[in-house]
Structure 1
């Protein structure tokens, strides 16, 4: 494998031309973080993010908002309420990840449901009424995200005998289009699993992170989101995770390193996310411990089409700091990667990349809880992608 560092893309003075979708101090919330993006076809794009009272993670007040584009990200409508915070009842929602099922037309948005505790001190349990449990939910829309029906998936995601808590990785899930599991929906998660004989810690006052290992897994559905199952967990120190379908229908998983060793971890599934082959650290991916995004360059390309092997990746290309937001591409199912361009030369937190129509791509990213930025990048502006 080659290193992305061998031929780095030039670092520009300014970000690529972009639209600011949210700015601190403007709109319905004081701060904004954590991004999700989906292209529904015919130019319809949804962008979601946390609205935050303080900029800090839950249990600080947080709700979900979205904006809508009808022309492939060239222009955007006003803020829409995705899932409102319940301030009186102190019910908070964060970490949006969209998933579009083209067969049914449904759109899903996975997200975290918190009350009095966040990921670091939540206790084990599946009762969403327990204020010390950090739960997980999914919304389903059959009208392109204009209205939503929400339900809990906490019991599926976080059985107390296995893990203390888990949350969906923000960004975007995928639908498999090739192979034996074509049509399957997958949403990536990370969880804090019990290690050895530590057992579940479900009492207030326990030290929640003692004897735990952070691992990745997916929820999957074979019935267009009517029901969901949890796949096997993989790895150690596999934190927030992104996934993509390869040309043969297998799934590549690419995870933030919880130990923050300066690179990312990968795994591959040959059975649609039900089990994984852990491939450890991939030195091609320089990363400071940040959420990133994998995506198919041509998601509808059939198996055997060379375009089915083309992948995209966005992330912060630095071992120690969340800076230098970089778009990288692979033409061989993720075996090797090269940098295409630097879309954000300065601070970069979470990012999402998705294929749009006519070979264009959309990149959504956050800058220090100050701004949420979106760029539509045309095919001719993507040399070597």
Structure 2
């Protein structure tokens, strides 16, 4: 079992010093939600998020924007268009998740493509012209996220014989660094699985929400779907362990107050379901796992250091907490509380010089980013 330790981190009176990347009523959209973050190296960061007309999920009008930092998150450039909403055609884009492939220099950005229906009433199918289908898409950039080409991955992500619909988990995907699958790119998904479905079928009794990944061994040129895992495995985050295995940590779709975990020994193609971990407190919210030192070699104690950001409360989306593990996720300690008040989705990523970056959203009112220096994190 994962233990968060006996001594919780003290709750501050105010959030950590931070930069507001977006504020409701300012900029191109009335509201902002759902965050993604990637470090491209040398202090170059991209922070993506939804712009929303109403603050509600698709099919309400939604598009994707981002901001850029070239000094490790100390300062940020203006809002950039990531994928614009098509208001005339009523095509909406949301849920950004970034991956960086240093071998090719590419940045990959998964996201949801919706028209007239969202996850709760979408029908099964792979035709992105069908306005009842909620699809998945991927963008690829060859110039550090300044321009993008987009294509659908709906057919591989959500075949109707297996599931009604699926969407990529927002935040950050993963590139494997070691083992036989080194260089593989992985993007976590959650899907609404059922038996005996066909294209055009809508919601049905007996659907099971499961996690899986899409993975690529050719720098994002093609993608394959791994096996699903678990029950009530909703939005999912993944991290590479020091021995090359992949740890999966999912919000509980049943909102039981804890998290669900699984482990893969074959680069995300299949999983060993570890079930509910009753000691990992969470209200049913997206969160993020990350390696503290992604480039640390196997055998280096730093390779076993992990980070986790979430709303640390069983029932409410409050108390944004950064937790740390020094033993590949076997045990955890609360490192600090970065947001004492309301907290929706959050993402943590390693930066240069041992610093870490955390981006989070506050009730569709603000998108906040904090750079946490190495000296401000508790020692092992």
1:3·1:283 contact (CA, 8 Å) conserved in 2?
A: no
Hey, what does 1:85 align to over in structure 2? 85
SS in 2 for 1:25: coil
2:2·2:277 contact (CA, 8 Å) conserved in 1?
A: no
For 1:1-385, list aligned pairs within 5 A. 1=1, 3-4=3-4, 6-194=6-194, 198-200=195-197, 202-203=199-200, 206=202, 208-384=203-379
Give, in angstroms, the shift of residue 2 of structure 1.
5.7
Give, in angstroms, the shift of residue 5 of structure 1.
6.0
Root mean square deviation of aligned Cα: 1.0
TM-score (norm 1): 0.97
Give, in angstroms, the shift of residue 283 of structure 1.
2.1
Give, in angstroms, the shift of residue 178 of structure 1.
0.8
1:309-356 Cα deviation digits (max 9, x unpaired): 000000000000000000000000000000000000000000000000
Distance 1:303 1:78, change over 3 A: same
Range 344-353 or range 280-289, more displaced = 280-289
**Separation in 2, partners of 1:225, 1:269:** 20
1:141-178 Cα deviation digits (max 9, x unpaired): 01000000000000000000000000000000010001
SS in 1 for 2:40: strand
TM-score (norm 2): 0.99
Structure 1 segments (4+ residues) deviating >3 Å: 201-204
1:239·1:256 contact (CA, 8 Å) conserved in 2?
A: yes
1:14-43 Cα deviation digits (max 9, x unpaired): 000000000000000000000000000111
1:340·1:384 contact (CA, 8 Å) conserved in 2?
A: no
1:254·1:267 contact (CA, 8 Å) conserved in 2?
A: yes
**Separation in 2, partners of 1:210, 1:362:** 41
1:2·1:337 contact (CA, 8 Å) conserved in 2?
A: yes
Give, in angstroms, the shift of residue 209 of structure 1.
4.1
**Separation in 1, partners of 2:225, 2:169:** 14
2:185·2:217 contact (CA, 8 Å) conserved in 1?
A: yes
1:128·1:135 contact (CA, 8 Å) conserved in 2?
A: yes
**Separation in 2, partners of 1:75, 1:38:** 15
Give, in angstroms, the shift of residue 357 of structure 1.
0.1
**Separation in 2, partners of 1:372, 1:71:** 19
Distance 1:248 1:5, change over 3 A: closer
**Separation in 2, partners of 1:188, 1:374:** 23
**Separation in 1, partners of 2:198, 2:94:** 24
1:284·1:337 contact (CA, 8 Å) conserved in 2?
A: no
**Separation in 2, partners of 1:93, 1:123:** 18
